[in-house]
């Protein structure tokens, strides 16, 4: 049963379930709504890198931090399409383009992004963008260009948000999600753990996502990759059990969503990732980078898929959701 009326107490009770019982319940839910042998392979490309005016404490692309990230202007359309073609040939069915902007502006760069969206869509891939805040009109233009999904993470709970970001508000993020949903674009929204938040903050973020008028079709669960030069550079790596708990809780609360095992996967061995899949994760990002942070090599993923008898999920399998 799909619910959007979860109470904070219910979410907390699920999150605090003994871990093996939680995994078991999540695995049952996962098998009810998804094929457990399918995992979607996605590729994420930074099409405009660095120089961002925001102050997100985790982000190496913020202009105010000295992280060694080279700033690059928006890539040429054909270069991006070549990356997308290579991603498709390596097994990815979803191609996400990220630009280090605070918000989308109506200018030539946005026109170029629209051309990128059209080109990737023509390759038969699910095309996703993460470009910052978005108006309803801009969302409609992206939809008309063929955009399948838009990523805009909540990052954390509303209560902890101001400790991580001050250059935009939680309300700004929720408004962007409303604009994306209003344009009938698939919503991709999750968060990051390991930033110094409490378990209550993690529960709060999951509660916000699970009580949206419609659940996000995609929920990325990220573990902080602490980058030297950012305010969070000294944060300890989050335990894998915390990732598994987040994934399992998200799977139970939002049964139809694609739960994406995202940043931080590079630090997990095959056995740990297998537990994440058992707990309900059914998507990974492939390639040596996630925007500017390290990621698993495709050879490792191919071996893992073969060992676990996992097959890549085809594109557009959830298209009926957006009908």
> Pick the catalytic residue: 25, 42, 59, 88?
59
Classify residue 246 as left (phi > 0), alpha (psi -120 to 50) or beta: alpha
Which one of 96, 173, 202, 276 is the catalytic residue?
Answer: 96
Decide if 52 contacts 100 (C-beta within 8 A).
Answer: yes
Active site residue 251: no
Rounded CA gap, 132 and 167, in Å?
12
Q: Which of 42, 52, 129, 276 is catalytic?
A: 52
| DSSP for residue 227 | -
Which residue in 42, 56, 129, 276 is the catalytic one? 56
- Would residue 128 show up in a list of annotated catalytic residues for this protein? yes
How far, in Å, CA of 306 to CA of 91, rounded? 14
Largest CA distance in the chain: 52
Angle at 49 between CA 47 and CA 55, to 5 degrees: 130
- 301's enclosing H/E stretch is helix 298-308
Catalytic-residue membership of 52: yes
Catalytic residue among 42, 129, 188, 276: 188
Contacts of 198 (CB under 8 A, 6+ apart): 160
- Coil, strand or helix at 154: coil
Question: Residue 129 catalytic?
Answer: no
Catalytic residue among 42, 88, 94, 128: 128
The C-alpha atoms of residue 178 and residue 309 are separated, in whole angstroms, by 38
DSSP annotation of 32:
H
Annotated active-site positions, please?
52, 56, 59, 96, 128, 188, 260
């Amino acid at each position: 049963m799909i619910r959007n009326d979860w109470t904070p107490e219910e979410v907390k009770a699920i999150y605090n379930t003994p871990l093996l019982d939680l995994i078991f319940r999540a695995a049952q839910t996962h098998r009810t709504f998804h094929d457990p042998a399918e995992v979607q392979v996605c590729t994420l490309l930074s099409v405009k890198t660095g120089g961002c005016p925001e102050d997100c404490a985790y982000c190496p692309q913020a202009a105010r931090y000295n992280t060694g990230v080279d700033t690059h202007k928006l890539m040429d359309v054909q270069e991006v399409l070549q990356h997308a073609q290579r991603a498709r040939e390596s097994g990815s069915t979803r191609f996400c383009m990220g630009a280090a902007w605070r918000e989308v502006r109506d200018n030539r760069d946005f026109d170029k992004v629209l051309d990128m969206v059209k080109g990737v869509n023509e390759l038969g891939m699910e095309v996703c963008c993460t470009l910052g805040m978005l108006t309803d009109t801009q969302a409609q233009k992206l939809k008309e260009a063929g955009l399948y999904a838009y990523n805009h993470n909540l990052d954390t709970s509303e209560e902890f948000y101001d400790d991580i970001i001050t250059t935009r508000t939680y309300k700004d993020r929720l408004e962007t999600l409303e604009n994306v949903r209003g344009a009938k674009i698939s919503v991709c929204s999750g968060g990051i753990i390991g930033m110094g938040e409490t378990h209550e903050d993690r529960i709060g973020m999951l509660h916000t996502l699970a009580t949206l008028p419609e659940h996000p079709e995609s929920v990325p669960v990220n573990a902080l990759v602490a980058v030297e030069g950012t305010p969070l550079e000294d944060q300890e790596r989050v335990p894998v059990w915390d990732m598994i708990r987040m994934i399992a809780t998200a799977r139970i609360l939002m049964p139809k969503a694609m739960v994406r095992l995202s940043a931080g996967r590079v630090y997990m061995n095959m056995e740990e990732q297998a537990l994440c899949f058992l707990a309900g994760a059914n998507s990974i990002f492939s390639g040596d980078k996630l925007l500017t942070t390290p990621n698993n090599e495709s050879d490792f993923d191919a071996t893992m898929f073969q060992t676990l008898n996992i097959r890549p999920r085809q594109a557009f399998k959830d298209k009926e959701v957006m009908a």
